[in-house]
Amino acid sequence: MLHIASLILLFLLVADNTPAFAAVDFIYPAPSTWVKSSGHMIVKFNQTDLSAIRVTVNGLASDLIDVSSPEYRKLFRDFFIAQAIWDSGKNSVLIDLFRGGQKIESAHADFFYVPPTSSMLPPPEFTPVIMHKPEKERLCISCHNLNPKREQMNSNIEKENPCVSCHKNILAAKYVHGPAGTYSCAYCHASEGKPKHAVPKQGAALCYECHADMSVQINKRKYIHGPIEAGMCEACHDSHGSQNESQLIMPINELCLSCHGHIRTQTHVVRTTSGEGHPYKGKPDPAKKRTGKTMSCISCHNPHAGDVRYYFVNNVDDRLSLCQMCHNK
């Protein structure tokens, strides 16, 4: 939900003489599109004599926002960016325009938010959002370099890299992917991509260009985990960064159980003296005592591949050998 009480308005100066055909243009997200990150909402007002606006998101309305001061009109005209935190699923936005205290027009748009950790699919009436289109870029180009050279996209100096000014917030994570952390955007993204700045390859085809050693290790194994076999690296990893080690999109056990949910309700491996199955959380990991880590699915299973059906770690080829890694007496 858009946090109205702490709404941060960042106003954007843009010189645009295009005739107005609508009261409001929703630049990002565009109406009836879906997004997978909760970040900015960019709106353009096609009125030059407004005194105030009011933003309502999912029924929660802001106070009137004054846009009538000469300083604002001189510097920022009719653009603003609102920092938004969307609700999961459909979000409805209503913007009311005021002149002299009287509401003169309203505009409405629906967006659909699919969180990175969600397995939900957007309804077919919502299409993927695309910001870098010519008709949108022309509104921003007076302030932003939207046709950067490759060396600019790879500059690790923040003020010299044109990608950073809009996309820096995706790096606000505990664990950041190396190229993203050094602002090496062109390692993965291409200006000539379709759509513009898209990655030219998907999944493992792109990831293995840097992680070739992982490809070699995986392909040596007899059994390969399904998502890896399908080249779906981003089914588990965030390509920019996350709050979880290895840039996982969820904590490790939550991620594994999002597919292997039956483990939650069945006795796992053996019934112990407590009457429960073998622990996979909440206990110190005997094989990693020095790290202080607790047990997780990857204490016993390699998430990528293995030489036995259940991808046992260290490529042990039978269950007894796996047990003896910890139970060696």
Tens-place pLDDT, residues 234-260: 999 999 999 999 999 999 999 999 999
What pLDDT is recorded for position 6? Answer: 37
Express each pLDDT in 22-81 by its tens digit: 788 999 999 999 998 877 899 988 877 889 999 999 999 999 988 888 887 777 777 877
Identify which of 78-87, 195-204, 277-286 has the greatest average pLDDT. Answer: 195-204
Which one, of 242, 217, 239, 240, lies nearest residue 303 by Cα?
Answer: 217
Assigned token pair, 308: 């036995």
Burial of 3 (0-12, 13-18, 19+ CB in 10 A): middle
Q: How far is CA 62 from CA 11, 42, 88, in A?
A: 17, 16, 20
Average pLDDT score over the chain:
86
So what's the pLDDT on residue 309? 85
pLDDT score recorded for residue 18: 41
Predicted confidence at residue 169, as pLDDT, reads 86
Domains, in order of start, for the chain: 9-140 (2.60.40.10), 150-202 (no CATH), 213-235+267-323 (no CATH)
User: How much is the pLDDT for 224?
Assistant: 95
Q: Which residues contact 226 (CB under 8 A, 6 or more apart)?
A: none
Spatial separation of the C-alpha atoms in residues 120 and 236, rounded to whole Å? 15
